[in-house]
């Protein structure tokens, strides 16, 4: 009964094998399954008997085919010869990497390249070049800073350095009504406080404020601040 149960199992295993190996060798082949089934059922096997595993492993490898492929068979010397022939056939196919030659660029200095410099310069030529530079060397003596030309406008830098009162401290009297509103309206015509201060000084300031640019009487028009100029001198 046990043998009868094994027969379908062995048949299923044989059906799953889709690769047909060489007849007479290997395991799990149709020939092996048939012989095994015959042995299990007690029936005689009429086909060619399978070779024992020890005899299969001792079979020699075949020689190399004409295309150079290594096939089964042959001894150790044949395998070595086949390997050497395969390596020799592929060595000729290797490509050699061409050396990259440096590109000469006249815009890049080669003064740090000893080989390039030594080919066109010598110790004697360097000494002659140093002597030539010494002869053309000229020492320029320092001179006084030229005076600023008079362009007809007040110098607000000099005015800032000549004053010491902070912004908002009244030094000059101002008379009139709505001085702040008038100053805001008049100051809006200038692109910067510096230009407003120049116009203020050109029109009689700081004692007089004919254009209403200094309503608090501190001598600074339209919020102009002399502190940056003073700080520059102190630093």
The parent domain of residue 37 ranges over 2-53
In a domain, 33, yes or no: yes
In a domain, 117, yes or no: no
In a domain, 224, yes or no: yes
pLDDT in tens, 148-201: 666 678 999 999 999 999 999 999 999 888 999 999 999 999 999 999 999 999
Considering 53, 69, 86, which residue would you say is the last residue of a domain?
Answer: 53
In a domain, 168, yes or no: yes
| DSSP for 43-92, written as a single string | PPP-SPPPPPHHHHHTPPBPPPPTTS---SB--HHHHHHHHHHHHHHHHT
In a domain, 71, yes or no: no
In a domain, 223, yes or no: yes
Cα distances from 151 to residues 123, 193, 226, in angstroms, run: 58, 19, 21
Give which of 208, 212, 196, 204 is closest to 156, Cα–Cα: 196
pLDDT at position 209, please?
95
pLDDT in tens, 107-161: 788 778 888 888 888 888 889 999 999 999 988 888 887 776 666 789 999 999 9
Structural domains counted in the chain: 2
Largest CA distance in the chain: 142
In a domain, 25, yes or no: yes
- This prediction has a pTM of 0.39
Query: For all residues of the chain together, what is the average pLDDT?
Result: 76
């Amino acid at each position: 009964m046990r043998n009868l149960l094994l027969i379908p199992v062995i048949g299923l295993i044989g059906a799953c094998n889709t690769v047909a190996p060489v007849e007479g060798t290997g395991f799990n082949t149709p020939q092996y399954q048939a012989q095994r089934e015959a042995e299990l059922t007690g029936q005689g096997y009429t086909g060619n008997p399978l070779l024992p595993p020890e005899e299969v492993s001792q079979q020699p490898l075949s020689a190399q085919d004409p295309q150079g492929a290594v096939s089964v068979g042959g001894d150790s010397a044949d395998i070595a010869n086949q390997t050497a022939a395969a390596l020799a056939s592929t060595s000729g196919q290797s490509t050699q990497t061409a050396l990259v030659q440096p590109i000469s660029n006249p815009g890049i200095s080669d003064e740090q390249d000893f080989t390039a410099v030594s080919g066109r310069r010598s110790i004697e030529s360097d000494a002659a070049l140093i002597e030539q530079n010494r002869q053309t060397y000229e020492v320029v003596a320092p001179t006084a800073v030229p005076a600023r030309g008079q362009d007809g406008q007040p110098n607000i830098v000099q005015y800032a350095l000549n004053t010491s009162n902070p912004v908002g401290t009244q030094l000059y009297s101002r008379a009139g009504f709505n001085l702040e509103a008038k100053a805001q309206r008049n100051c809006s015509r200038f692109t910067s406080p510096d230009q407003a201060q120049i116009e203020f000084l050109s029109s009689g300031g700081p004692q007089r404020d004919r254009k209403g640019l200094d309503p608090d009487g501190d001598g600074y028009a339209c919020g102009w601040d002399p502190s940056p100029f003073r700080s520059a001198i102190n630093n």
